[in-house]
Structure 1
Amino acid sequence: MSASNEIRIVRIYDAPLKAVWDAWTDPAQTAQWWGPRGFTLTTHSKDLRTGGSWDYTMHGPDGTDYPNKTHYLEVEPLAKLVYDHGASDDRPPMFRVTVLFSEVEGKTHMDMCMSLPTAEAAAQTRKFVRKAGGNATWDRLAEYLAKRLMDQERFVINRSFDAPLATMFDMWTKPAHFSRWLAPTGFDMRFIRADIRTGGSSMYSMSSPAFTMYGRAHYEEVRSPDRLVYTQQFCDEHKNIARHPMAPTWPETMRTTVDLTAEGPDRTRVTVTSEVVGQATAEELATFLDGRAGMTQGWTGSFDKLDAVLAGGV
């Protein structure tokens, strides 16, 4: 249980411990994923040891530079990092970070805690990080590891909700709940057919004032209470495969994996992973990669609606 002045982030990465540690500590690798989507990173110097420091600049997509200086208080290789984050030559550190790394069945468990002076400062930082898209940093790490280790291009997004695991599973697998929040902002979703079980399928429509689009899904795995895997295609009203009406070069078939993890009796973390299925042209793959920022925005809007549904009672 985190204290009121702490922000805790827990992730499980499908990668060996050393690969995750190296991604965190090798400047060349860190530059591939550190920061919100659209940001880039320049490391000026890095001395990874207790008492050492990391001097770097984050470059925002609008061209704004954000100088940062990290001071390492503890460095235990493959196990622990403790550092003060967010300082610069004219600014004290924003908070202290403790990151614990451990191996769990061949995967890597990352437990990160950001400690701030007060509960109010923690609340303000949560809002700032969320508005800036900073939580996508840890999703980008998952994407980077998938590409580096398995040569797989993926989109990953995480979000934690104040709801029990069983409730969250229902929100993803019962059409009456699912259709209330999944559609992009400005769209209404309606299931034409729904058989959400392993081997089942569904067809649905998403409508806005401007147009209606149709989709179909095949459920490869539905495992209560923590996992859902399905492939998805756009189609016409007669179930024939079609392309996204606003993105004709979007890949034909996508696979979405939803993993649900209990973070407490009344809190659940949702991890959504999307990847291209089957043969895709270079143009289609580029469209998918270029679309990850938009996917983050779309899922964030859907998750905001899910938060509202949960707050209103299920």
Structure 2
Amino acid sequence: MPHAETAGVEATPRTRLRWWTELPLILLVYACYSAGRLLARGDVSTAVDHGLAILDFEKALYLNAEHPLNRLFTREPWIGVPADFWYASLHYLVTPVLLVWIFRSRTVHYRAARTWLMTSTFIGLIGFTLMPTCPPRLLDASHGFVDTMAHYSSYGWWGGEASAPRGLGGMTNQYAAMPSLHVGWALWCGVMLWRYGGTRLAKIAAIAYPLITTIVVMGTANHYFLDAVAGAAVMGVGLLLAPLVMRTADRVRARFATASASVATASGGAARTGSAGAAARVAADPVTVGSADAPSSIVSDGCQTSAGERIPRQRDSRFEAGAEPSAVPQDAGDGAPAPAR
């Protein structure tokens, strides 16, 4: 492994990633993406003005590739129908599959790849909010665009309103065209395949997937060419910001861990202080073993009991002093000494 890459790996916190923590995070980001598109509807007239301004700017720079592509997709169903399937499905299938693949087989690089994708997605949501844009397909018919999703809706699961499933078109923000995250996510997928694919087929797919996606979004009249450029720019900014986002997350995690450790230490110290206090109180209260008025029942080191008590089979200490057993007075059981035999 190259030295630079090794240094980058060693600089990454050795935190083992778990799928049950990653999956909710991915779902949260996607929910924010969907909710952001839904909430950032903006004013329709403003969105139309933005769309026309982009179209005029492209025409002035001779960048207007949307019209010829849209006419081709409308005229040739064998191109238009697969393109609509491409637009409506691969955006939501290829990206998660590649995330899972990197998580399982390229774990060292997963966190950076995921952070890059998420950061760029949030930047895209800001773009949807600040600049609602009417896509070409929703412009007046006089501008020469045909909505191929509506044109070929009988071939797929989507309806005539948007690429959403039938009946759910009203739940989407159809004026979230700038930037194109279809192109942005496809570019992310291409970079992942190029860097970690390892085969010639993977490198071909790394180039073909974002390129075809760019053509599809324009030919289906869902995006302008500048939307695609903005999607690529958003991914570039997200790539630059991803290390900063990871460092910030590491600092927050470290502070949280330090605070948790401090709370645990304080709790443990209080518990130890309470135990020490109890021990000190026990040590301060001496236990009275015996007195002249109240004989002790505690067996002493000489195995003696209190007066009148004997432990069965107890060896009397007088035996140990050398006395003969016959010389030891025997107890008759009533407490009075027996006569010597």
On whether the aligned pair clears a TM of 0.5, the verdict is no
TM-score by length of 2: 0.21
TM-score by length of 1: 0.23
The higher radius of gyration belongs to: 2
More strand by share: 1
More helix by share: 2
